[in-house]
Copies of this chain bind each other. A is one copy, B any other.
Amino acid sequence: MTSQQRGGYAKGDARREAIVEVATEVFGTLGFRSATMLQIAAACGISRTGLLHHFPTKESLLEAVLAQRDRTSALVVPLPSDVADPDLAAIERLIALARHNASSPEIVNLFSVLSAEAGDPEHPAHAYFLERYAAARAELAAALTRLAARGALVAGTDPRALAIEIIALMDGLQVQWVLAPDSIDMAAVLRHRIQAALLPPYVLR
């Protein structure tokens, strides 16, 4: 590949990334349904035809927004490769994510609005959220089950119910935080709840 070709790819990628960033904000503010491709194009400073060249439908743009959001979450809060306790690290990662989200209102908005809208089976992100929540519950329940087997959880804790509770807590905190960011410390409330389920000597960072 010549440097010119690479430059061409890079330019197209940069334009796509810029569009996805703008769409994240527009979907997060207006919701997927009420946002229009024309509004998104205008916010990007390009024509509707220019936008359709990169994303032929609003659904394809939504898909790119969700994929980018997942990549960003994985990047900002990577699972360290050399952790002493991977199960505890998986939980600490959720707290780090909540802390990171407090610096990204546009991502929090996006997720609150889309996950609520997607309750409708007709919504294009319905399957995405259905699978995403099922996977998140299964993954977290598995980590908690391993912690329970090691005697790290308070007696009587149901790992699956606790997984549902922790995920619900993260989502619900976002709703309150968006409305009153100065009153709600998402990471602190989450950390406190999870720590309460752990027995000594297990302490979350």
A147 close to chain B: CB less than 8 A? no
Contact yes or no, A188 B161, CB < 8 A: yes
Q: Which of B31, B164, B179 contacts A176 (CB 8 A)?
A: B164
A 103-118 to B, binary, CB cutoff 8 A, 1 in contact else 0: 0000011001101111
Which residues on the B side are within 8 Å of A158 (C-beta)?
192
Which residues on the B side are within 8 Å of A167 (C-beta)?
172, 176
Alpha-carbon gap, A173 to B167, bound state (A): 8
Interface residues of A in 1-58 (CB under 8 A from B): 29-31, 33-34
A102 close to chain B: CB less than 8 A? no
Contact yes or no, A130 B164, CB < 8 A: no
Chain B residue with Cβ nearest A160:
B183
Which residues on the B side are within 8 Å of A34 (C-beta)?
31, 33-34
Q: What are the 9 tightest A-B residue pairs by CB atom distance, in nearest-first order?
A: A168-B172, A172-B172, A119-B178, A171-B172, A33-B34, A34-B34, A112-B116, A116-B116, A168-B173
Chain A residues in contact with chain B, CB under 8 A? 29-31, 33-34, 108-109, 112-113, 115-120, 126, 129-130, 133-134, 137, 158, 161, 164-165, 167-173, 175-176, 178-180, 183-184, 188-189, 192-193, 196
